[in-house]
Amino acid sequence: MREHDCSEPGLLAALQDDGFRFVEAPAMRRLLQSHGALNDWEAFVGSWDELVPDAYLARTGRHRRRRYAVFSATADGAIRREPHQPHFQSSTYNALQGDIERWFEPIAPAIGDGASLRTMLAFVCGLFPQMAPAVRRWHIEVHQFRIEARPDEPGEPTPEGVHRDGVDYVLVLLIDRQNIASGTTTIHAADGTLLGSFTLTNPLDAALVDDSRVFHGVTAVTPLDPSQSAHRDVLVITLRRDD
């Protein structure tokens, strides 16, 4: 794996060779800013305070907050937001909540149209489709997640365990973490072999994953100070070919 080449060609080569890549915040900021601006960053981060409880996960006794949106991208570079729709995963990929349509509250229009998210969409649509140049149209799902850790209950960033999402490519981007320990992203081969691990610590630390080749998971998070609130905020963007 190319640990020190943080250029976009180096990132693409690492993904093609290994199926994943971790990128630290300074390099990720440079990559993003080569595709657009992040000048609404404060409002973008603040929108995580407006997430709503995931009612589907609450039925299993777990807790997280989220919002969701769907976009599409075409080979000519056009990216547009699609009408609000449910999130669906088969039980092949999500044994905990598979085979149901899950309706989540939409990402706020100002955030969906804002500079930061549009820059992130431009980045993933400039990078991942290079690995599948014959694809003419991509289905893009954007998830805002807040995982809350409680004194008596660790937060589970991936309650379904080590898994694949059932898409082609995934970007996991740290937005904020407050008063938490752990939350280590792990990458695995199909036989369970650990291929790599990295703790997203600073805003814009990122994991990029070829979901067709490797599995991923995140260890539970716990409060550093049990008397204070604790959370881990991430943005997840997935691309699935839509031909």
Cα–Cα distances (Å) from 42 to 39, 47, 58, in that order, read 8, 9, 29
Number of neighbouring beta carbons within 10 Å of residue 143:
18
Q: What is the mean pLDDT of each run of 10 residues along the chain (243 residues)?
A: 67 96 97 97 98 70 81 95 79 53 89 98 97 96 92 75 91 97 94 96 97 94 93 96 88
Per-residue pLDDT, 88: 61
The phi and psi torsions of 192 (rounded to 5 degrees) equal 95, -10
Per-residue pLDDT, 57: 63
Per-residue pLDDT, 1: 40
Scanning 54-141, the segments in alpha helix (DSSP H) are 55-58, 109-112, 115-127
Please say whether the dihedral angle defined by the alpha carbons of residues 225, 172, 191 and 95, taken in this order, is positive or negative.
Answer: positive
CB 200 within 8 A of CB 165: no
- Rounded Cα distance between 63 and 55, Å, is 9
Per-residue pLDDT, 243: 75
Give all domains of the chain, ordered by start, each with its CATH number: 8-241 (2.60.120.620)
Per-residue pLDDT, 152: 80
Please say whether the dihedral angle defined by the alpha carbons of residues 82, 87, 89 and 94, taken in this order, is positive or negative.
Answer: positive
